[in-house]
Structure 1
Amino acid sequence: MSGEGKVVCVTGASGFIASWLVKLLLERNYTVKATVRDPNDPKIKHLHELDGTKERLHILRQTYWKKGLLTLQLMDVKAELIDPAVKGTLNVLRSCAKVQSVKRVVITSSIASILFNGNPLTPDVVVDETWFSSTALCRELKNRYLVSKTLAEEASWKFAKENGVDLVTLHPGLVIGPFLHSTLNLSLEVILDITNDVAFAHIQALEVPKASGRYLLVGRVTQFCQILKILHEHYPTLQLPEKLEAAKYEQTYQISQERAKSLGINFMPWEVSLRDTVECFKEKGFFNV
């Protein structure tokens, strides 16, 4: 599909998913308006190096509070996230509602706005897009990131329904695989530090169907023990623990892939994405194997 003559705005464009989105849009001849916190930051060097940048990429400054652009939501729970998340999201929706040429708004939300509703997460439970996190529960957990994502999601759908905005929300878990930027986000740090379980998706489609809705972009909740086994097999020189307490890392629930598959998304095996991540670590000098 060619995007020649079409314009797409990608906010928080220096992030993992957003950087790949910018790259794929440029490859398909779209003109991309990419917003970042600081256009002069050397950390966005990778955006300037993409094919088609000179002809069709416009990098713009974004702020947390000014109307007109959605803000990047940071993973640092010590930062003040809640007001920027909600106000920033509503700002971009208000702007889009005023412009007839904007046909659809796609928000990359998080599985955080789905999982935390008090329902038991047992092996027979299948989590899907009908789940909504409870703001009260997220506040009880004292995690600003969970609260910010949940409030932003609630505000987005309320505004979209009241103002006729064609809205789609995507809900990835931790995202791994080859990365374009030179710094690590939380998902990549999880793999680099070998400290947590991983759930992720490899997205192989840009098209979103006509129907609005919520889409879980998580291929599988993967046991940490499985990840450790693969790393031992393919990277025996890494300093890894020999084994883990299995019960601590057992999978406790399932995640539905059905609606994501309806987009035409093909989920890459997690073993492949894990190895791609490690190879990218090596290429960018994060460690030697």
Structure 2
Amino acid sequence: MNGGGKVVCVTGASGYIASWIVKLLLLRGYTVRATVRYPRDIKKTKHLFTLEGADERLKLFKADLLEEGSFQQAIDGCDGVFHTASPVSLTATIPQAELIEPAVKGTMNVLETCAKFSSVKRVIVTSSTATILGCKPPFTPNDVVDETFFTDPNFCLEMKQWYALSKTLAEDAAVRFSKENGIDLIVMNPGNVIGPLLQPTLNYSVGVIVDLINGKTPANSFYYRFMDVRDVSLAHIKAFEIPSANGRYINVDPTTTMKDIKKLLHVLFPDLNGESEMNGMAYKVCVDKMKSELGIKFTPIEATLRDTIASLKKKCLLI
């Protein structure tokens, strides 16, 4: 019970990765203050209250990314903060309002609140590999991507990659503010996260698997590398617990590409639609930092896929 007596805040707690972070924190003995936009929306929050330890050690708080000071009550007195809340979408009619503002302003809102309370020892921000992979010229099979790679915002603008831009600007702002204000900040950079769902609705990253099962090619999929949601969530918690953890951590299984996922799905669904060749961007990923500093081991991707599909069926999300 690593978290016995410790109080932490998880923002956007009803989301996919966040729900798993809450679950694992509760299992480790933490008291969790979970922020959501609509605490009274039982459909979105009910799954959190079914988690082991929730009755005794989970409390919901109303907070909005764009509402200054709305995280104050939840963060006051916390030992740590996991900031996961940020919109995920690859399409946007008004990118500034739909993606960029909530990501950047929301992150600053949370960090400015953290700076006010000396109880907060460390902040973990969920970023994305989208803040690492966006650059020109494209990667080649010999390129080895690690935490020293940074997306070029101009490339995002040029390519109209609004989600990547929102995450890149938010991460940049977070790092800058934390340095200026003495906040111990760690940035997690997950790829496409899959695995069983705790929440009742389909999220973007697991939607990629549903698309593949239905014979559709997901947008921007040639960039994707995958990782189990349980491993990603544990990596977040280890980044909080291990004193020497620092900087950024790529959260992907380097051996699993979109082609591998497609092959495995064909084994699990022999009559799968869409025989089209799945083109993936060829590049290598180095995750030595996550493995050596956080001690993360990967769930075999076949087990992850089986659990994802079982979960989708159970929640009637597979059409």
TM-score (norm 1): 0.92
Q: Distance in 2 between matches of 1:120 and 1:126?
A: 12
Q: Which residue of 2 aligns with 1:240?
A: 273
Over residues 224-274 of structure 1, what are the superposed CA-to-partner deviations in whole Å (9 max), with x where a residue is unaligned? 3332322222233x5423x323xx514510111111102111112222211
Look up the match of 1:253: 283
Cα distance in 2 for residues equivalent to 1:71 and 1:167: 13
1:167-186 to structure 2, matched below 5 A, reads 167-186=185-204
Matches within 5 A, 1:11-160: 11-41=11-41, 42-68=43-69, 69=71, 72-76=85-89, 77-78=91-92, 80-160=98-178
Extract structure 1 runs of 4+ deviating beyond 4 A.
Answer: none
Q: 2:267 and 2:245 mapped to 1: Cα distance? A: 43
Whole-angstrom CA distance in 1 between matches of 2:191 and 2:280: 17
* 1:223 to 1:129, Cα distance in 2 relative to 1, 3 A: closer
State whether residues 18 and 84 of structure 2, in contact with CA within 8 Å, keep that contact through their aligned partners in structure 1: no
CA distance in 2 between partners of 1:21 and 1:119 (Å)? 36
**Paired residue secondary structure (1:249):** coil
Counterparts of 2:189 and 2:8 in 1: how far apart (Å)?
20
Q: Distance in 1 between matches of 2:130 and 2:281?
A: 17
Match of 2:265 in 1: 231
Aligned CA-pair RMSD: 1.9
5+ long unaligned stretches in structure 1: none
Separation of aligned partners in 2, 1:36 and 1:124: 43
Match of 1:165 among 179, 183, 187: 183
Helix, strand or coil: the match of 2:259?
helix
Cα deviation, residue 139, structure 1: 1.0
User: What is the CA–CA distance in structure 2 between the aligned matches of 1:228 and 1:143, rounded to whole Å?
Assistant: 24
Whether the aligned pair in 2 keeps the contact of 1:171 and 1:216 (CA below 8 Å) is yes
* DSSP-derived class of the 1:175 partner: strand
Q: Structure 1: how far apart are the matches of 2:137 and 2:238? A: 32
Does 17-26 or 60-69 show the bigger shift? Answer: 60-69
- Superposed counterparts of 1:204-283, under 5 Å: 204-205=234-235, 206-208=237-239, 209=242, 210-220=244-254, 222-236=256-270, 238-241=271-274, 243-245=275-277, 249-262=279-292, 263-283=294-314
Question: What amino acid sits opposite 1:229 in the alignment?
Answer: K
Q: TM-score, normalised by structure 2?
A: 0.83
Structure 1 residues 153 and 101 mapped into 2: Cα distance closer, same or farther (>3 Å)?
same
Of the structure 1 ranges 85-94 and 160-169, higher mean CA displacement relative to structure 2 is found in 85-94
- Structure 2 CA distance, aligned partners of 1:173 and 1:222? 11
Deviation, 1:182, is: 0.9
Deviation at 1:81, TM superposition (A): 1.6
Instruction: Count matched residues.
Output: 284
SS in 2 for 1:207: helix
CA distance in 1, matches of 2:172, 2:193: 23
Pair 228,84 (structure 1): closer, same or farther in 2 beyond 3 Å: closer
Deviation of 1:180 after TM superposition, in Å, equals 0.6
Letter in 2 for 1:72: A
Distance in 1 separating the partners of 2:257 and 2:116? 46
Structure-2 change in CA distance of 1:101 and 1:249 (3 Å): same
